[in-house]
Structure formats: structure tokens, C-alpha cells
């Protein structure tokens, strides 16, 4: 017997288009899973079951609008939804907040016929410390932050697709910790509006799903670009550049061993695999990214610091006040570095199709620690697309991953290469 909530995005889409299942039955199955597991996983900040079912029934009455028609999708609660609360992870300060407009990615999902299942849990204001959400693969571990609810919901089969956002690592890290495929697209791939700003130089929305083909389907449905179609041709060859980064020695040995095994498996599968050494200037990108985030966040959270300082988490206060100490000259220098390296990154890659780097610093840590983003921040500075791909298990049997980095605005090419790599590793 098919359990509908366990269908992948691709499987659910095909079944809906063929008429063998209804959106209402799929949505009801997801809601039943949420009812059975939410007390343990705590992935959702808002669910209105009747609103979700109303949407699903309406989708069943309409002609199909495309591959996302009738698909239940989770929306991270930093993105505004006109028919649901958006509390930015702070139900006390923003209790009762009901936006008048959707964020653009939410509007695009509605236009594509998706069912907005509810709002997924987010750490307070979207900062990088733990929310209440647990990793469904191990309830004493973190699912990452701040797209914790989106990742946990997909990993626990509460929905086949969820929207996350990232400023420093909040799609890639939860995907890694929950054993999912996730993509942080090229910067500005879709307008960032009607959302809780964190650092405008980096804020971007993306996807969490169960595999790369599901990411491609979501991209195709929202952008309308056939190049993202999951049934499109795979590249005939892929050259993978192995980049160990300046932080190579930081994680435990099992992370490095998994990375090397992954590279060897790709070489055995016929991929061209070669080491890439980027100029030393790239080593400054992570610190520069953190300085920009601090500077911009401090100014965007000025009201919270003035009006509710005593109610802010210590981590929020420390980050905001630390950002006030970043000078304009330091901020300008960090921005200039990013601009210079964005201009030359393509040429520095040479003939490499995909750059492979470690995905996380290890298995998901305990639930009170949302993990590190040391291998992620520099790619935010370059505004390039970044795919998280599960590639193995650590010593405690929990997921490990790699990141696949592409050229800016060549997201469809990155996804195609990532799907070929995923297929080779699965084989």
C-alpha cells in the first residue's frame, strides 16, 4: 500500500498529473503525519489543517498549472504569507502579526498551484542558534538552523518540499544534518521582499527536498525554465574540482575521510576529478562575509535593540552590538573583496564544472548546538549556487554531505551535474 506522505516530490507530482491520487488525499496524509510526529519533531510554527485542505480541494477542481499543482509545501516562517501569521521566530514580540502580502517565492508557489501546508519553525529572527525543532533522524540532535523546521518536515515525510532561506548556512547545513538535498541558488534568482531581512548582501530563498531531481522540479515550476526539468538529459561528462579549503584541518578525521572516499568513488565511476587550489585571497572570504553580516544585521535590528533589548536573546544582542563595532571602512573593504573575487571566480575554476567541498563540520551535534557554517560562508560571498548532497554516514550513523559549487547564474548546469553525481554515488 502506498503511503502518500512518503512519496517524493517527483512521484507525487506524477501521480497527481495522472489522476491516480488527489491533492486532498495527499495533503490529508501529510497532515496525519504531522499529527503523529509533531510533538516529537516540532517542525511547525503554524498549521491550519482546514485552510490546507480547502486549498487542496480547490486544486483538485482546477486544471493543472504544472508539476507543483496540488503539492503540499512548507514555508519557512521568515517569509510573509497573507493568509497565515508570520512571526519571524518570535511569537512574543510579533504575536498576531498578519502580513498583507506574500513574499515573492510564496506568490510564485501559489501561482504554480502548490498547497501552502503551513509555516515551518525558525530560530528567533532567523539567527543561527537552535530553535525548538529536533532532527527526525535522531531526536536528541539538531536539524541545523535557521531553516530547521523546513528540513525536519521534509526529512520526516511531513511534506515533500519546503522553502528555506540562507544568509550564512541555513539551507546547506540543515540539508546536511537531515540527509537531504538542498540548494542555495545564485543571489537574487528570485526577488527578496516581504521577508525578515538579515543581511541583504546575502539573504536568499531556496529549497529542501529528498533528492536533486526534486530540486530541479521545484526550480522548473517556479522559474518556468525547461532547463531545470528533472527528466532532462544529464551531462555527458563532469569534471569535479576538489577544493579542501583553508579550514580543512578543522573537522574531525571522519569528515575528511568521507570527503576523500567520495572523490575516489567519483573517479572510479568515470568522472574527471582534479584538485583545485584557489589563490590565497579566497581564504579571507569567510571572515569578510561575517563582517558584512554583522554590519548589516546591526543596522536592520536597530529597532529591536532599542525597544526590546532586555528581551533579546544574548546571542542576538551580542551579534547586533558586535556589528555596531564594524566600521564603514571595514565593511567597504569586505564588500570590495567579494566584488573582486566574484569577477574572477569563473576563470579561477578553469575547466572545472563543479567544485566539491566538505558540507559540514561533522554529524549533527546535540540539539542545543546548531553546528558550524565554516565550509559555507565563503560561497555566500561569491553569490554562486550551492547544492548540498548526502554522501555517507558518520561513526554514529548520521548523515554526512558534500557541497557542490557552480558558477554564478548557472544553477541549471549545477543541478544537472549534481544529479549525475548523485546517481553515480547511489550506484
Task: Give the H/E segment covering residue 60.
Answer: helix 49-61
Grid coordinates representing 380?
Answer: 555566500
Chain centroid to Cα 399, Å, comes to: 16
Query: Which one of the listed residues 170, 186, 372, 401 is annotated catalytic?
Result: 170
Share of the chain above pLDDT 90, in %: 81
The pLDDT confidence band at residue 224, using thresholds 50, 70 and 90, is: confident
The pLDDT value recorded for residue 128 is 67
The pLDDT confidence band at residue 126, using thresholds 50, 70 and 90, is: low
Residue 151 sits at the vertex; the CA angle it makes with 125 and 66, to the nearest 5 degrees, is 105
Residue 313: pLDDT above 90? Answer: no
Say how far apart CA 341 and CA 4 lie, in whole Å: 46
pTM of the model: 0.96
**Which is higher by pLDDT, 80 or 313?**
80
The pLDDT value recorded for residue 123 is 80
How many other C-beta atoms are found inside a 10 Å radius of the C-beta of residue 1? Answer: 3
- Helices 411-426 and 212-223 cross at an angle (nearest 10°) of 160
Respond yes or no: is residue 170 known to be catalytic. yes
pLDDT of 68-108, one tens digit each? 999 999 999 999 999 999 887 766 667 778 888 999 999 99
| Averaged pLDDT, 299-304 | 83
Q: Tell me which of 45-54, 221-230, 328-337 is least confident.
A: 221-230
Residue 260: pLDDT above 90? Answer: yes
Grid coordinates representing 257?
Answer: 575521510
**Using an 8 Å Cβ cutoff, are 141 and 105 in contact?**
no
Residue 254: pLDDT above 90? Answer: yes
pLDDT of 170-216, one tens digit each? 999 999 999 999 999 999 877 677 777 778 999 999 999 999 999 99
Respond yes or no: is residue 237 known to be catalytic. no
CA distances 102 to 62, 77, 81, 85, Å, are 22, 12, 5, 11
Q: Which among 179, 181, 358, 176 has a CA at the least distance from the CA of 255?
A: 358
Residue 409: pLDDT above 80? Answer: yes
The pLDDT confidence band at residue 50, using thresholds 50, 70 and 90, is: very high
Say how far apart CA 305 and CA 183 lie, in whole Å: 32
Q: For the chain, what's the residue count?
A: 427
Respond yes or no: is residue 146 known to be catalytic. yes
**Using an 8 Å Cβ cutoff, are 231 and 345 in contact?**
no
Say how far apart CA 201 and CA 19 lie, in whole Å: 43
Residue 40: pLDDT above 90? Answer: yes
Domains and CATH numbers, the chain: 4-228 (3.90.1300.10), 239-283+332-426 (3.90.1300.10)
Grid coordinates representing 218?
Answer: 521545484
CA distances 109 to 78, 120, 223, 351, Å, are 16, 15, 10, 36
Query: Which one of the listed residues 76, 131, 401, 412 is annotated catalytic?
Result: 76
Query: Which one of the listed residues 13, 15, 131, 146 is annotated catalytic?
Result: 146
The pLDDT value recorded for residue 301 is 83
Secondary structure class of 155 (helix, strand, coil): helix
Share of the chain above pLDDT 70, in %: 98
The pLDDT value recorded for residue 147 is 94
Amino acid at each position: 500500500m502506498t503511503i502518500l506522505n512518503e512519496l517524493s516530490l517527483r512521484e507525487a507530482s506524477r501521480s497527481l498529473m495522472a489522476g491516480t491520487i488527489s491533492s486532498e488525499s495527499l495533503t490529508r496524509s501529510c497532515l496525519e503525519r504531522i499529527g503523529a510526529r509533531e510533538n516529537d519533531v516540532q517542525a511547525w510554527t503554524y498549521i491550519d489543517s482546514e485552510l490546507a485542505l480547502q486549498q487542496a480541494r480547490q486544486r483538485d477542481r482546477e486544471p493543472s498549472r504544472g508539476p507543483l499543482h496540488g503539492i503540499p509545501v512548507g514555508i519557512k516562517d521568515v517569509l510573509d504569507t497573507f493568509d497565515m501569521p508570520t512571526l519571524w521566530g518570535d511569537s512574543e514580540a510579533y504575536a498576531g502579526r498578519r502580513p498583507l502580502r506574500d513574499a515573492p517565492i510564496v506568490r510564485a508557489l501559489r501561482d504554480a498551484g502548490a498547497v501552502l501546508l503551513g509555516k515551518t519553525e525558525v530560530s528567533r529572527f532567523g539567527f543561527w542558534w537552535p530553535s525548538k525543532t529536533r532532527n527526525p533522524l535522531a531526536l536528541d540532535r539538531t536539524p541545523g538552523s535557521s531553516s530547521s523546521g523546513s528540513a525536519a518536515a521534509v526529512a520526516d515525510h511531513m511534506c515533500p518540499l519546503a522553502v528555506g532561506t540562507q544568509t550564512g548556512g541555513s539551507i546547506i547545513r540543515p540539508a546536511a544534518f537531515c540527509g537531504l538535498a538542498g540548494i542555495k541558488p545564485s543571489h537574487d534568482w528570485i526577488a527578496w521582499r516581504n521577508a525578515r531581512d538579515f543581511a541583504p548582501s546575502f539573504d536568499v530563498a531556496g529549497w529542501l527536498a529528498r533528492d536533486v531531481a526534486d530540486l530541479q522540479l521545484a526550480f522548473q515550476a517556479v522559474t518556468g525554465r525547461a532547463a531545470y526539468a528533472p527528466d532532462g538529459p544529464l551531462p555527458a561528462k563532469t569534471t569535479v574540482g576538489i577544493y579542501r579549503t583553508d579550514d580543512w584541518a578543522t573537522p574531525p578525521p571522519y569528515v575528511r575521510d568521507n570527503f576523500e572516499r567520495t572523490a575516489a568513488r567519483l573517479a572510479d565511476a568515470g568522472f574527471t576529478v582534479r584538485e583545485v587550489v584557489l589563490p590565497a585571497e579566497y581564504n579571507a572570504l569567510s571572515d569578510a562575509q561575517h563582517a558584512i553580516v554583522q554590519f548589516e544585521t546591526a543596522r536592520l535590528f536597530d529597532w529591536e535593540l532599542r525597544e526590546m533589548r532586555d528581551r533579546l536573546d544574548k546571542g542576538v544582542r551580542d551579534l547586533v552590538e558586535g556589528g555596531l563595532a564594524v566600521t564603514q571602512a571595514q565593511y567597504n573593504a569586505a564588500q570590495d573583496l567579494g566584488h573582486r573575487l566574484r569577477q574572477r571566480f569563473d576563470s579561477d575554476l578553469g575547466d572545472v564544472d563543479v567544485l566539491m567541498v566538505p558540507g559540514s563540520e561533522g554529524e549533527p551535534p546535540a540539539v542545543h548546538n546548531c553546528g558550524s557554517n565554516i565550509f559555507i560562508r565563503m560561497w555566500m560571498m561569491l553569490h554562486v549556487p550551492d547544492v548540498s548532497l548526502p554522501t555517507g554516514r558518520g561513526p554514529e550513523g548520521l548523515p554526512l554531505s558534500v557541497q557542490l559549487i557552480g558558477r554564478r547564474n548557472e544553477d541549471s548546469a549545477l543541478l544537472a551535474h549534481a544529479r549525475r553525481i548523485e546517481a553515480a554515488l547511489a550506484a
